[in-house]
């Protein structure tokens, strides 16, 4: 350690000189609400502040109550809307669709399965007709369910539009409350920084008792105005909480609409097309089997066409093998459709949970708002 450093360390043994600490820069004060309002609303707030009369002690009790009362009615109507809109019916319709699809297994169209059915019933034509009837019946049921899903989709789209109107209405209440709050803050600042100090100074100079009483009245008015403004801030909080809740419900409904649309326009038609192709190939195969039986009884007549029969048999076998690929495709399509429906049910369940949470939050906010209004 050098001599200079030692002298520096020993220069202030009793801490008589305060250490200079680098202070962190003070955080910037938040901007006033009036400063961040749109120009049009800022002018309205200034005009409203000028209308606040400190001499009218009763008027301050009603300041902003009109907006609060409408907000209370809005909260009640939104709560009522959320309670009435339940997507449980859609979940039941989708569940019915899944049951119908599970009743029809693509494996039943495979040749090995069909051979077993033929042996059990003895006649190929009967087993073909049974499978055909079963698919036709299921197809008709799926068509009816598709109509219900389309109706539910329309209801969800209408619900999204209603929620959009509620969102815009909630935004208007938010802006109106901001004007009330900004006007109250502006008037309060004027009272505390200008009007009250000037009147207090005048009273001290004149020692007029009535002047002192007027100062006290203004201070009481300022206190009540501050409390009233704070109540309006709490009411504004209701609108701030309602906005994301409305958007969450809209988002869940939109996701459900998209899944229903996918089922109606893509998955179900594709499933029906594959069934139609599989049934057509099944009929062709049974026709070939019937032709083989006829060939056995008319063998003498077909001896000269033996080579042609061989070629036809090979082509038919190739066609039958191609039918297996189509059946496998049908099974994949059905698995994809069921997966889509399961995801739709999950989204529907999330939507119901969000609606329930929104219902609880809105009911609590409505109760708090009523208590505040009742206490004024």
In a domain, residue 170? The reply is: yes
Q: pLDDT of 26-64, one tens digit each?
A: 445 556 888 888 999 999 999 999 998 888 878 788 888
Closest CA to 339 of 243, 246, 262, 247: 262
In a domain, residue 5? The reply is: no
In a domain, residue 21? The reply is: no
Q: Beta-carbon neighbour count of residue 368 at 10 Å?
A: 15
In a domain, residue 262? The reply is: yes
Closest CA to 249 of 164, 343, 355: 355
In a domain, residue 13? The reply is: no
Q: Which residue has the tokens 């109250």?
A: 184
DSSP one-letter code for 279: H
Tokens standing for 23? 């202070």
**Start-end of H helices in the chain:** 3-10, 33-36, 39-51, 65-84, 88-103, 111-121, 124-190, 196-206, 209-262, 268-297, 306-374
Q: pLDDT of 147-174, one tens digit each?
A: 888 888 888 888 888 888 888 988 888 9
Distance separating alpha carbons of residues 253 and 176, to the nearest angstrom: 29
Tokens standing for 255? 């996701």
Q: pLDDT of 289-299, one tens digit each?
A: 656 655 565 55
The residue-averaged pLDDT of 9-17 equals 46
Domain count, the chain: 1
In a domain, residue 24? The reply is: no
In a domain, residue 66? The reply is: yes
Distance separating alpha carbons of residues 212 and 205, to the nearest angstrom: 11
Calculate what percentage of the chain has a pLDDT beyond 70.
66
Q: pLDDT of 330-347, one tens digit each?
A: 777 777 778 888 888 888
Band of residue 185 on the pLDDT scale cut at 50, 70, 90? very high
Distance separating alpha carbons of residues 213 and 186, to the nearest angstrom: 24
Mean of the per-residue pLDDT values of the chain:
75
Range of the domain at 270: 31-374
CB 67 within 8 A of CB 176: yes
CB 221 within 8 A of CB 57: yes
Distance separating alpha carbons of residues 95 and 89, to the nearest angstrom: 10
In a domain, residue 243? The reply is: yes
CB 143 within 8 A of CB 80: no
Q: Which residue has the tokens 């619900």?
A: 159
């Amino acid at each position: 350690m050098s001599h200079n450093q030692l002298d520096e360390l020993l220069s202030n043994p009793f801490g008589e000189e305060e250490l200079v600490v680098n202070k962190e820069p003070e955080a910037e004060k938040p901007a006033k609400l009036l400063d961040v309002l749109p120009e049009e609303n800022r002018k309205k707030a200034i005009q409203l502040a000028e209308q606040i009369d400190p001499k009218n002690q009763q008027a301050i009790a009603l300041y902003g109550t009109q907006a609060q009362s409408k907000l209370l009615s809005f909260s009640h109507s939104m709560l009522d809307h959320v309670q009435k809109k339940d997507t449980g019916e859609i979940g039941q319709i989708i569940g019915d669709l899944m049951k119908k699809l599970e009743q029809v297994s693509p494996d039943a169209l495979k040749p090995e399965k069909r051979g077993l059915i033929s042996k059990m019933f003895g006649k190929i034509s009967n087993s073909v007709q049974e499978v055909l009837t079963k698919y036709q019946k299921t197809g008709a049921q799926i068509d009816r369910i598709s109509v219900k899903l389309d109706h539910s989709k329309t209801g969800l789209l209408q619900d999204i539009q209603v929620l959009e109107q509620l969102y815009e209405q909630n935004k208007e209440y938010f802006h109106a409350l901001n004007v009330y709050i900004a006007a109250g803050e502006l008037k309060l600042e004027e009272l505390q920084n200008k009007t009250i100090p000037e009147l207090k100074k005048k009273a001290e100079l004149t020692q007029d008792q009535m002047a002192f009483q007027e100062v006290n009245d203004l201070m009481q008015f300022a206190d009540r105005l501050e409390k009233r403004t704070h109540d309006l801030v709490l009411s504004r909080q209701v609108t701030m909480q309602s906005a994301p809740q409305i958007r969450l419900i809209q988002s869940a409904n939109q996701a459900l609409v998209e899944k229903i649309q996918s089922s109606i326009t893509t998955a179900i038609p594709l499933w029906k097309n594959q069934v139609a192709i599989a049934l057509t190939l099944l009929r062709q195969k049974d026709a070939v089997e019937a032709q083989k039986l006829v060939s056995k009884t008319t063998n003498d007549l077909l001896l000269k066409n033996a080579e042609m029969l061989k070629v036809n048999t090979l082509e038919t076998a190739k066609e039958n093998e191609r039918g297996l690929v189509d059946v496998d495709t049908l099974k994949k399509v059905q698995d994809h459709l069921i997966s889509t429906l399961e995801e739709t049910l999950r989204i529907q369940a999330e939507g119901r949970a969000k609606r329930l949470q929104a219902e609880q939050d809105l009911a609590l906010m409505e109760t708090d708002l009523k208590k505040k209004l009742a206490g004024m």
